[in-house]
Amino acid sequence: MSDELKEKIAGEIALSPEPGKAIRKWREEFGISQYELADAMGVSHSVISDYESGRRKSPGVGVVRKMVGAFLKIDDDNGSPVQNQYMPKRRLSCILAMDEFPQGVEEEDFVRAIAGTNINPGQIAKKRIYGYTIVDSLKAILTLSSQDYLQIYGWSIERAIIFTDVHYGRSPMVAIRAHPLTPAMVVYQNPDNTDPLAIKLAEREGVPLVTTTYSVEELVKHLTELKEGQSA
C-alpha cells in the first residue's frame, strides 16, 4: 500500500497546477509541521515555506520523491495512522467506474469521445485529462465523507468527474466547490436540466462543465477505446 500511496501523493503534487497547495494539503494530512518536514528532508524551513507559498518554482522529481519519503517515514514513526486510513481497498458504492490515462488525453478528445457538449462556453478546454471517475451523484452526496471523497480522484486530480443521476446539477457543483481539490472537468450524464448556478460555479472554479447523453456502459466503452487508441 505504501508504494501506491507514494504514487498517489507524488502524482498529485507533480500534476497539480498549484503544487504548493498540494504539498501543504498532504503535509497537513500527515499532521506534520513545515519544520518537521524540512528536518526530515535535510533542508531549511524556508525551502518548504517557499514551495508552499509559490515563491519557489515547482519541485523536481527528486525533491518530490524525498518529500513523499519523508511524509511516510514520519508516519511510520508515529504508528502509520495516515497510511492505515488509506488501507481499505474496497471501491466506494457511489463509484460506478474509473480508469486512468497514463499519457493523458486532450480535453477536446475526451469531450468528443463521450459525444459531449460544453455548456460552459466561457471556459475553454486547455488541460489534459489523466483519468475519469463515474459517480452516482445521489449516493455520493448521501454517503461520502471528506476522506472518502479523495478516493474519487484515483491517482490524479487532473481527471473528469462524471456524475450520473443528475436532475439539475446544483448539488454536484456545490460539492466540488466545497472540496479543496478541483477536477479538470465535470460531466453530467443525461441531466434533466442544468441549473444556471451550476454553470456559474463551474465558471468560478475554472472547469469545463460538459453534458452527455451516453449511458454509463457507452461511456466506459468509448473511454476504454480512447485509452486503447493511445497505445495503438
Bridge partners (DSSP) listed for residue 209: 186
pLDDT tens digits along 184-208: 899 999 998 888 888 888 888 888 9
Alpha-carbon distance of 169 to 36, in angstroms, equals 42
Q: Is the pLDDT of residue 61 over 70?
A: yes
pTM over cut 0.85? no
CA distances 118 to 133, 158, 165, 172, Å, are 18, 17, 18, 16
Which residues are CB-contacts of 175 (< 8 A; sequence separation ≥ 6)?
140, 141, 149
Q: Is the pLDDT of residue 22 over 80?
A: yes
Average per-residue pLDDT for the chain: 86
Over residues 65-94, mean pLDDT: 81
DSSP state of 138: H
85 falls in which pLDDT band (50, 70, 90)? confident
Alpha-carbon distance of 34 to 52, in angstroms, equals 9
Q: Is the pLDDT of residue 136 over 70?
A: yes
With both helix axes pointing from N to C terminus, report the angle between 61-77 and 19-29 in degrees, rounded to the nearest 10.
Answer: 10
pLDDT value at residue 128: 85
pLDDT value at residue 124: 59
Alpha-carbon distance of 39 to 8, in angstroms, equals 23
DSSP track, 18-55: SHHHHHHHHHHHTT--HHHHHHHHTS-HHHHHHHHHTS
229 falls in which pLDDT band (50, 70, 90)? confident
- Contact status, residue 116 vs residue 163, Cβ threshold 8 Å: no
Percent of the chain with pLDDT over 70: 90
45 falls in which pLDDT band (50, 70, 90)? very high
One-letter amino acid at 28 equals E
Q: Is the pLDDT of residue 228 over 90?
A: no
Percent of the chain with pLDDT over 90: 42
Q: Which of the given ranges, 40-49, 116-125, 157-166, 185-194, has the highest pLDDT on average?
A: 40-49
